[in-house]
Amino acid sequence: MTFAPVIPWPLLVLALAAVLVFTVLALTRKARPAALRGAAVVLLLLAMLRPGWPGGQANTAAAEMDVFFVVDTSTSMAAEDYNGSATRLSGAKRDVMAIAKELAGAKFSLITFDNKATVRMPLTRDATALQTAMTTLQPQNARYAQGSSVTGAAQLLKERLAATKGQHPGRPALVFYAGDGENTSAEQPPALDAANVAGGAVLGYGTAQGGRMKETPDADAGYLKDRSSDTPQDAVSRIDEKQLRGIAEQLRLPYAHRTGTEPPSDMLGKTQSGALTISDADTAGRIELYWLLALGAFLLALHEPLRHLAALLNLRPAAPKERTP
């Protein structure tokens, strides 16, 4: 059996020891509800150790690396010209998860930008957390759009790359930039720094014909209007591949136009030679057992609401007092 704790070992051991003492004291005092609560917490702490058995198979990256996804979430990424009528952001989501699957075992971080840049997820090996972050990602509401720069994440990315290099000097950092190249900021886009970038790719979404954008992510929302003339029409956003190729030059990365028909290998195959090595062979995987402990904790915790429900059901109205003549 192997373990992959989600928090440092010392903290888990201290917490487990404290809860075990509490549970034993509750048992000696015959405080059954308190003992059950303590036992549930013990199981949860054990689940946080993430026990597992070697088994299964997984395709893994041959080298340890940090992967930064820089995703454009400005309103134009809602344009419906990806693989037909899907949004550009849906294509970016698909590609990010495909890359993460191919680079299993690496650490992933998600940075998004529109009016401002945000670290949505710091570096972690938890691919489930990345999937959750990408699933909930939405284009910026047009009502709050104030113009966005195609390199709005330049400073934040530079800081995160420098911090990572300081912590792990020998670890290569890959950057995958996903956007449509449309710059709506009045200021000149700041240049991206390639100093600590070992590889990756710039991924472009959209078409030259362009696509319409809904004002909000709601399915029944109306389309954004271009009111620059006396007769407002549906606004159309078009990919700016010149900007995207310029970003690729700044980061010293290859550029790939993504239309929804290319395989993930097209993105990874364009990364710089030597930056990463993917093993096609399946390697030994791991069967997670933490969910059994979590299920046990849930069943123990059920005692509390069931006890209160039984008490409520046993409540009876008080008998009416007899009136004296």
Task: Tell me what the pLDDT averaged over the chain comes to.
Answer: 83
Size of the chain, expressed as the number of residues it contains: 325
Asked if 52 and 71 sit in the same domain, the reply is: no
Count of Cβ atoms closer than 10 Å to residue 284 Cβ:
10
The domain total for the chain is 2
Read off the pTM.
0.66
> Predicted confidence band at 89 (pLDDT cuts at 50, 70, 90)?
very high
In a domain, 192, yes or no: yes
Do 168 and 306 have their domain in common? Answer: no
Report the 10 Å Cβ neighbour count for 125. 12
Q: Does one domain contain both 119 and 137?
A: yes
Radius of gyration of the chain (CA): 27
Q: What would the two tokens of residue 230 be?
A: 């006396």
52 and 117 housed in the same domain = no
Task: Determine, yes or no, domain membership for 145.
Answer: yes
Domain residue limits at 308: 2-57+284-313
d(CA 320, CA 249): 87
CATH number of the domain enclosing 103: 3.40.50.410
Flag whether 289 is in a domain: yes
Q: How far apart are CA 37 and CA 108, in angstroms?
A: 36
Mean pLDDT, range 186-207, rounded to an integer: 92
Task: Pick 192 or 7 by higher pLDDT.
Answer: 192
Residue 95 is encoded by which pair of tokens?
A: 């590609």
Do 222 and 246 lie in one domain? The reply is: yes
Q: Are strands 107-113 and 117-124 parallel, antiparallel or unpaired?
A: antiparallel
Q: Are residues 264 and 295 in the same domain?
A: no
Domain check: are 163 and 50 in the same one?
A: no
Do 43 and 158 lie in a common domain?
Answer: no
Q: Are residues 10 and 34 located together in one domain of the fold?
A: yes
H or E element that contains 58: strand 51-58
Domain membership of residue 139 (yes or no) is yes
Assess whether 302 and 243 both reside in one domain: no
- Which two three-digit tokens encode residue 38? 């303590």
Q: Domain for residue 200, yes or no?
A: yes
* Whether pLDDT at 94 is above 80: yes
Contact 50, 2 (CB under 8 A): no
143 vs 74: which has the higher pLDDT: 74
Task: Confirm whether 274 is domain-assigned.
Answer: no
Is the pLDDT reported for residue 278 higher than 70? Answer: no
> What's residue 123's pLDDT?
93
Q: Are residues 191 and 227 in the same domain?
A: yes
Digit-coded pLDDT (tens) for 131-185? 999 999 999 887 777 778 999 999 999 999 999 999 888 889 999 999 999 998 8
Asked whether the beta carbons of 95 and 266 are under 8 A apart, the reply is no
- The answer to whether residue 206 scores a pLDDT higher than 90 is yes
Residue 321 domain-assigned?
Answer: no
Q: Indicate the range of 50-59, 151-160, 174-183, 272-281 predicted with least confidence.
A: 272-281
Q: Within a domain: residue 178?
A: yes
CB 137 within 8 A of CB 113: no
Please list the alpha-helical segments (H only) found in 53-211.
88-102, 127-135, 154-167
Task: Note whether 69 and 58 are within 8 A (CB).
Answer: no
116 and 246 both lie in a single domain: yes
